[in-house]
Amino acid sequence: MIVLEYKLVAAAEQRRGMDEAIRTAQFVRNACLRYWMDSEKVGKNDIYKHTTKLRAEFEWAKKLNSTAVQAAGERAWASISRFYDNHKKGAATNVCGRKPVGYPKFKKNVRSVEYKQSGWKLDASTKRLTLTDGFKIGVMKLLGKWDLMLYRQEDIKRLRIVKRADGYYAQFLVDVERHFDLEPSGKTIGLDVGLKSFYTDSEGHEEPNPRFYRKAEQSLKKLQRQVSRKVKGSNNRKKAVARLGRKHLKVQRQRKDHAVKLARCVVMSNDVVAFEDLKVRNMIRNRKLSKSIQDASWREFRLWMEYFAKIMGKIAIPVNPAYTSQICSGCGVAVKKDLKTRTHVCGCGTVLDRDRNAAINILRGALRMVGHTKTAGETQETLVEMEEDQPKLASIAEARIPRL
């Protein structure tokens, strides 16, 4: 499944119609969630039946296409099922009489509505999208470089209308498989992410940290002050909020672009990529480092590495980062050091940068896991088949890991 995104050229009346459709989808999602809270033993089929009752009860809800109403109910069920899964894993626990962690919440600022294979028409040759439900949005032009003529209309399973700070976008979810046939590079690499440099690999290369948010922080503060000075509800405040939103959106896009390009380059250049299995959600609780950690966007970088590894036939392995910076990569002895100590010095004569030492340990830990764990969305059976190549990969890695 791939997503093709286009910007919509819409008139003011069409934008108002899309806003109304998004608000209707938000109402259906929240109403389904309330139905689940007030009832017992509610399943997915019960949610579908409730969406039908909502369309019969509220006349204005009929304007939204029936499949879009079903998709809104599916969003409610997705949050419910995710809560159930977390509860089974022990992640959702009741604290001090409050609702369990991860309990589904009502949405008050939904920015998208999703259609299935009805309620819209697409003219791929002229790049025109027509929404045919009761909001009378009509025909809109699509701006984008993707060629929709390459895919069949029946392969487009869903259409999502997304509202952002700089306009409205149409996302087409196309049911096709992506796969790249690449020649094996014979290389393995371990990555240790950080704040000083974005990552340090087992070869000693340091990728600089772009710090997009830090660079834009002064501009964001200025725009935020402009918002605070405007009268609430005024048009000038709305304009100031829009300017602030566009600036935040630019920073978000810069992070994504950096993560995608860097992850693609790393995966294409190596057969095995080992990285830290970090719990970023727990790490950002550190008030002194939370802003810098979120600015680095390690989570997004990891997700894109796993995605590219899957479609390129490579191996991406998350490794437990515990003690990787403390253990000597030369002799295996633990050398305790605090965060201020940036150089690893061991009695065996190994002197390395702290992050490079950790990257080497991460790579070795990953090579021991090849053929025994699930990585990058692969099934365990697929990785067992790769076990035959493990001695070759290990020998390559040992030859590339410095012995100092």
**Residue with tokens 């949405």, as numbered in its chain:** 107
| 114, 276, 295, 306: the active-site residue | 276
Residues 36/160, Cβ–Cβ less than 8 Å = no
CA 180, CA 86: separation in Å to the nearest integer?
Answer: 34
Beta-carbon count within 10 A of 301 CB: 23
Q: Which residue has the higher pLDDT, 390 or 238?
A: 238
Average pLDDT over residues 366-391: 49
| 74, 133, 295, 355: the active-site residue | 355
Looking at residue 227, what is its pLDDT?
Answer: 94
CA 2, CA 4: separation in Å to the nearest integer?
Answer: 7
CA 167, CA 143: separation in Å to the nearest integer?
Answer: 12
Looking at residue 92, what is its pLDDT?
Answer: 54
pLDDT category at 36 given cuts 50, 70, 90 is very high
**Of 109-123, 309-323, 371-385, where does mean pLDDT reach its minimum?**
371-385
Average pLDDT over residues 215-223: 95
pLDDT category at 371 given cuts 50, 70, 90 is low
Residue 276 annotated to the active site: yes
Looking at residue 11, what is its pLDDT?
Answer: 94
Which range of 2-6, 90-94, 177-181 scores highest in mean pLDDT? It is 2-6
Q: Which residues contact 327 (CB under 8 A, 6 or more apart)?
A: 333, 334, 335, 361
pLDDT category at 378 given cuts 50, 70, 90 is very low
Which two structure tokens, joined as six digits, stand for 280?
Answer: 């970023």
pLDDT over 90, % of the chain: 54
Looking at residue 293, what is its pLDDT?
Answer: 92
Please, which residues bridge with residue 253 across strands? none
What is this structure's pTM?
0.81
CA 174, CA 4: separation in Å to the nearest integer?
Answer: 8
On the question of pLDDT at 394 being above 60, the answer is no
On the question of pLDDT at 96 being above 80, the answer is no
Q: Among 26, 216, 241, 220, which Cα is nearest to 113's?
A: 26
Residues 206/197, Cβ–Cβ less than 8 Å = yes
Residue 166 annotated to the active site: no
Residue 19 annotated to the active site: no
| 114, 192, 201, 378: the active-site residue | 192
**Residue with tokens 């067992």, as numbered in its chain:** 384
Looking at residue 385, what is its pLDDT?
Answer: 40
Looking at residue 366, what is its pLDDT?
Answer: 87
CA 196, CA 348: separation in Å to the nearest integer?
Answer: 27
Mean of the per-residue pLDDT values of the chain: 86
Looking at residue 78, what is its pLDDT?
Answer: 93
Domain ranges of the chain: 2-174, 188-208+261-400
